[in-house]
């Protein structure tokens, strides 16, 4: 169980940042979204089925890739990101339940969802809280369900790594995020069995499909 103070401290900066950035988030990310992120979202959500939880739903960039027949809940700690997501759901004609919530303390019983997705979200947490975050995602996933993760990590290629280090202060300021979250190192320790792991974008993004147990 994660202490309330740790959780509040970790999320206060995130909430402030995303409430501030929500109106311009899509414009700032557009070049990445259209050049490669959409392709990865499409690949990842091919593994989604049944009742889906999209944690850190943001402005709803995953929405176009939810399977048509699925029931989806999106949660986010930022009220203003959720407002953008609500607008996108309306534009796309998708019915998505959107709730303000912290992914470290999900207000759902154990084993509620068939698929739990976190795309570019765990990189907002301090490394020390990533095991607790993964444990919380596993808790709400059905035993036969799956977790879908997309996250940055520092590229193994020196030029790309240097570029990422140069961009890090901007990423911290604009998105309360970091490139060296290291999510993939915690996946197996969280009791997850990796079904598929792939790297993209000059080895700076990892896609993980995993199952509990
Ligand atoms: C970089 S954005 C990614 C949004 C979306 N998942 C995507 O792929 O475009 C990170 C999102 O995660 C949310 N977030 C970060 N930490 C969170 C937490 N502890 N609980 C809930 N949402 C969180 C932020 O508010 C933000 O909307």
Higher-scoring residue by pLDDT: 59, 178: 59
11, pLDDT greater than 90: no
Query: Is there an atom of ligand 1 within 6 Å of 179 CB?
Result: no
Task: Please report, for the domain that includes residue 187, its CATH number.
Answer: 3.40.50.150
3, pLDDT greater than 80: no
**Number of independent structural domains in the chain:** 1
Return mean pLDDT, the chain.
Answer: 93
Range 156-182 average pLDDT? 89
Residue nearest to atom 10 of ligand 1 (CA): 121
Residue nearest to atom 23 of ligand 1 (CA): 56
Alpha carbon distance 211, 209 (integer Å): 7
pTM listed for this prediction: 0.94
Query: Is there an atom of ligand 1 within 6 Å of 98 CB?
Result: no
To test the ligand 1 pocket, which listed residue (44, 120, 124) has its Cβ within 8 A of the most ligand atoms?
A: 124
Pairing between strand 113-119 and 141-152?
parallel
Alpha carbon distance 133, 51 (integer Å): 20
**Residue 201 Rama label (left phi>0; alpha psi -120 to 50; beta):** left
**Domain hosting residue 127, numbered range:** 4-212
At residue 2, the pLDDT reads 52
At residue 1, the pLDDT reads 45
Alpha carbon distance 89, 97 (integer Å): 10
């Amino acid at each position: 169980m994660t202490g309330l103070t740790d959780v509040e401290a970790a999320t206060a900066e995130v909430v402030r940042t995303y409430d501030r950035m929500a109106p311009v988030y899509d414009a700032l990310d557009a070049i990445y979204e259209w050049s490669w992120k959409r392709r990865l979202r499409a690949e990842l959500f091919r593994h989604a089925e049944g009742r889906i939880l999209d944690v850190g739903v943001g402005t709803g960039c995953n929405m176009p890739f939810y399977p048509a027949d699925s029931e989806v809940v999106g949660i986010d700690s930022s009220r203003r990101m959720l407002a953008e997501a609500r607008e996108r759901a309306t534009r796309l004609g998708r019915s998505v339940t959107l709730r303000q919530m912290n992914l470290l303390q999900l207000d759902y019983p154990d084993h509620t969802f068939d698929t739990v997705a976190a795309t570019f979200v765990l990189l907002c947490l301090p490394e020390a809280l990533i095991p607790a975050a993964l444990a919380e995602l596993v808790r709400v996933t059905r035993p036969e369900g799956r977790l879908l993760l997309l996250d940055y990590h520092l590229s193994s290629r020196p030029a790309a790594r240097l570029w990422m280090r140069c961009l890090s202060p901007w990423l911290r300021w604009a998105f309360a995020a970091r490139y060296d979250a290291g999510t993939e190192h915690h996946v197996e320790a969280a009791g997850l069995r990796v079904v598929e792991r792939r790297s993209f974008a000059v080895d700076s993004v990892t896609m993980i499909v995993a199952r509990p147990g």
